[in-house]
């Protein structure tokens, strides 16, 4: 079994805390959404603080990082008995640990094909949870905290607390469970209980049962020491029926242990002054020229006209999973009006077929005003953040959201719905356009969305006011270092309040 390398042995005078992250996607190895950004940025920030960090994830198809360090027994019924372990140091004090089990992870996509999840996802992610615990338990210095993320890792606290005796060396390890998105609850039929090696006594109201089915997410919430989510507003919202997706009662019961911490952004990767995807990187003092060059390239890439008139017309950008969460219904309901707003519009994303088709169609009907790119393109995402004048996020709900923070850093003014992390990071300019860093609307309606866009378009021609608005956004500190300090406090609290009893 792999042991920690000598370089990582803590100094005798200051034994650092150690945290093991368990997650299903981590940049730059695998990404479908913001979770991957978070599981890359937060561990690195903790590493800079001297924390000893391990990040455990599946070794999906195509991942060739790491060196083979051993094999691990993973006692899950009906699954391969062992996994290979590959490890790689990725930053100061941060190591990746890849769980290699081709039966489960050597597939073309992370979670499923088309709109269908893989039928064995419960087993794939139970395996990840157990393997991570087995790995952590065998270290010569077991972690102080295991930090599991989203439904895929919901069974981490469950296996740890509900199988007493299995992980004796983790008896002093605290667990933190972070909800990045309550809409994904990790549901499966109840007959999975024995197949996941879980005793039926855990299938209770205070255990994993959710309307007759098993919920991995509920398991994570009920069995961890502390629950977090990715913004204070979302932490409040999910305790209400409107945003709770049926989990409001479960969360309200743990409200004393539920903490919202806004995500940070990777300030190196998303830095307009050093961004290799931009034609002309820029700082706050060169923002106008830098953004104009980027805008020229964006328009070109989308096949929109590059004449002076188009260049001086405001450009609204949007990069998003095309799903209901992101407000696509109230946005697409505006139909052809979108092309008559007095702005150009460029969209990048993938998701529901009906939304993808909407954007393809409207771009075909209005080739001079609307550009659509259906796909996932990291480089184009950077270019849009720089080239757009405004960035649109009309989300129905948004646990945190990262693009509004990238936008602020790039001098691109966000237009957002006041929900979750968007509400916590964007402050409205107010009636005189003289404060704040963006434009916000509250009612979830096409009219309110159009109103906010119109306010932004009316403010845009006043160059002085607009520059001040951009400058305020560019000055904000959304670095991970700030959020990591909050996690450090949270970990100390989790260690102090560690639970020992099984909760059912
Ligand atoms: P979510 O995780 O709900 O999708 P976030 O705002 O937290 O939303 O994070 C989304 C991340 O994925 C951002 O880094 C965003 O730039 C990126 N992203 C989303 N769609 C695309 C795409 N089609 N191409 C490139 N990057 C994308
Ligand atoms: C989820 C949320 C998003 C959040 C991200 C990272 O995918 O939808 O709002 O920023 O996780 O925490």
Q: Which residue has the tokens 């990071």?
A: 425
402 lines ligand 1 (CB under 6 A): yes
Q: Which atom of ligand 2 is nearest to the CA of 263?
A: 12
Residue 15: what pLDDT? 64
Strand, helix or coil for residue 163? coil
pTM > 0.85:
yes
Residue with CA nearest ligand 1 atom 20: 320
87 lines ligand 1 (CB under 6 A): no
CA distances from residue 292 to 277, 304, 383, 441 in whole angstroms, order as listed: 14, 15, 11, 28
403 lines ligand 1 (CB under 6 A): yes
348 lines ligand 1 (CB under 6 A): yes
C-alpha of residue 483 to centroid of ligand 1, in Å: 20
71: tokens are 């094999």
Task: With CA atoms as reference, report the closest residue to 330 among 315, 342, 348, 318.
Answer: 318
Q: In the structure, how many helices (H) and strands (E) does the chain have?
A: 19, 20
Beta bridge partners of 149: 178
3-state secondary structure string, 289-352?
Answer: HHHHHHHHHHHHHCCCCCCHHHHHCCEEEEEEEECHHHCHHHHHCCHHHHHHCCCEEEEEEEEC
Low-confidence ranges of the chain (pLDDT < 70): 1-15, 499-504
- Nearest listed ligand to the Cα of residue 262: 2
346 lines ligand 1 (CB under 6 A): no
C-alpha of residue 29 to centroid of ligand 2, in Å: 18
Q: Which atom of ligand 2 is nearest to the CA of 37?
A: 6
Residue with CA nearest ligand 1 atom 19: 320
Q: Would you list the DSSP string of 92-160?
A: TTEEEEEEE-HHHH-SSSSSEETTEEPTTHHHHHHHHHHHHHHHHHTSSS--SEEEEETGGGTHHHHHH
Beta bridge partners of 393: 416
Could you tell me how many residues make up the chain? Answer: 504
C-alpha of residue 436 to centroid of ligand 2, in Å: 23
Q: How far apart are CA 151 and CA 186, in angstroms?
A: 5
Residue 500: what pLDDT? 56
Q: Which residues does ligand 2 sit against, CB inside 6 Å?
A: 33-35, 38, 180-181, 230, 263, 398-402, 421
Q: How far apart are CA 389 and CA 343, in angstroms?
A: 10
Do the strands 344-351 and 370-374 form a parallel or antiparallel pair, or are they unpaired?
A: parallel
240-272 pLDDT, tens digit per residue, is: 999 999 999 999 999 999 999 999 999 989 999
- Per-position b or e across 40-78, b if 16+ CB within 10 A of its CB: bbbbbbbbbeebbbbbbbbbbeebeebeebeebebebee
Residue 503: what pLDDT? 45
State which of 40, 229, 320 you would mutate to test the pocket of ligand 1, scoring each by most atoms of that ligand within 8 A of its C-beta: 320
Beta bridge partners of 406: none
308: tokens are 């002076």
319 lines ligand 1 (CB under 6 A): yes
Q: Indicate the angle between helix axes 463-475 and 287-301, nearest 10 degrees.
A: 90
State which of 32, 265, 319 you would mutate to test the pocket of ligand 1, scoring each by most atoms of that ligand within 8 A of its C-beta: 319
C-alpha of residue 48 to centroid of ligand 2, in Å: 23
State which of 263, 325, 480 you would mutate to test the pocket of ligand 2, scoring each by most atoms of that ligand within 8 A of its C-beta: 263
CA distances from residue 50 to 44, 108, 258 in whole angstroms, order as listed: 10, 36, 26
243: tokens are 């945003």
């Amino acid at each position: 079994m792999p042991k920690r390398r000598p370089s990582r042995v803590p100094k005798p005078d200051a034994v650092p805390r150690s945290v093991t992250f368990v997650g299903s996607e981590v940049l730059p190895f695998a990404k479908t959404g913001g979770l991957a950004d978070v599981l890359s940025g937060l561990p690195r920030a903790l590493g800079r603080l001297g924390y000893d960090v391990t990040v455990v994830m599946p070794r999906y198809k195509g991942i060739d990082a790491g060196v083979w360090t051993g094999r691990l027994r993973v006692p899950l019924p009906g699954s391969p008995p062992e996994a290979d372990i590959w490890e790689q140091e990725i930053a100061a004090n941060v190591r990746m640990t890849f769980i290699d089990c081709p039966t489960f992870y050597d597939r073309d996509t992370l979670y499923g094909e088309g709109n269908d999840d893989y039928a064995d996802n419960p087993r794939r992610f139970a395996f990840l949870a157990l393997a991570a615990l087995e790995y952590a338990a065998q270290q010569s210095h077991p972690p102080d905290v295991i930090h599991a993320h989203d439904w895929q890792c919901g069974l981490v606290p469950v296996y740890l607390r509900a199988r007493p005796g299995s992980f004796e060396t983790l008896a002093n390890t605290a667990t933190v469970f972070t909800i990045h998105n309550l809409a994904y609850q990790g549901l499966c039929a109840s007959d999975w209980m024995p197949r996941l090696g879980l005793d039926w006594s855990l299938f209770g109201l205070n255990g994993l049962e959710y309307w007759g089915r098993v919920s991995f997410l509920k398991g994570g919430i009920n069995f961890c020491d502390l629950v977090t989510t990715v913004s204070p507003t979302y932490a409040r919202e999910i305790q209400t029926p409107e945003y709770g997706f049926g989990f409001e009662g479960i969360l309200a019961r743990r409200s004393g242990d539920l903490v919202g911490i806004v995500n940070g952004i990777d300030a190196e990767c998303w830095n307009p002054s050093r961004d290799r995807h931009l034609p002309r990187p820029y700082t706050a003092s060169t923002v106008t020229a830098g953004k104009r060059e980027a805008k020229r390239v964006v328009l070109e890439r989308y096949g929109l006209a590059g004449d002076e008139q188009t260049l001086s017309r405001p450009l609204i950008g949007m990069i998003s999973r095309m799903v209901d969460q992101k407000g696509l219904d109230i946005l697409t309901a505006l139909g052809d009006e979108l092309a008559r707003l007095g702005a150009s519009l460029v969209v990048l994303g993938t998701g529901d077929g009906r939304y993808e088709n909407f954007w393809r169609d409207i771009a075909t009907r209005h080739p001079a005003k609307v550009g659509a790119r259906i796909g996932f393109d990291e480089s184009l995402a950077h270019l849009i953040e720089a080239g757009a004048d405004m960035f649109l996020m009309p989300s129905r709900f948004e646990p945190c959201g990262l693009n509004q923070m990238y936008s602020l850093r790039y001098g691109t003014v966000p237009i957002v719905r006041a929900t979750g992390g968007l509400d916590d990071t964007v402050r409205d300019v107010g009636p005189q356009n003289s404060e704040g860093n963006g434009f916000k609307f509250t009612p979830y309606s096409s009219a309110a969305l159009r109103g906010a866009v119109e306010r932004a378009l009316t403010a845009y021609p006043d160059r002085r006011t607009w520059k001040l608005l951009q400058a305020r956004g560019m000055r904000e500190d959304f670095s991970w270092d700030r959020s990591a300090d909050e996690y450090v406090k949270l970990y100390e609290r989790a260690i102090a309040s560690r639970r020992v009893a099984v909760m059912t």
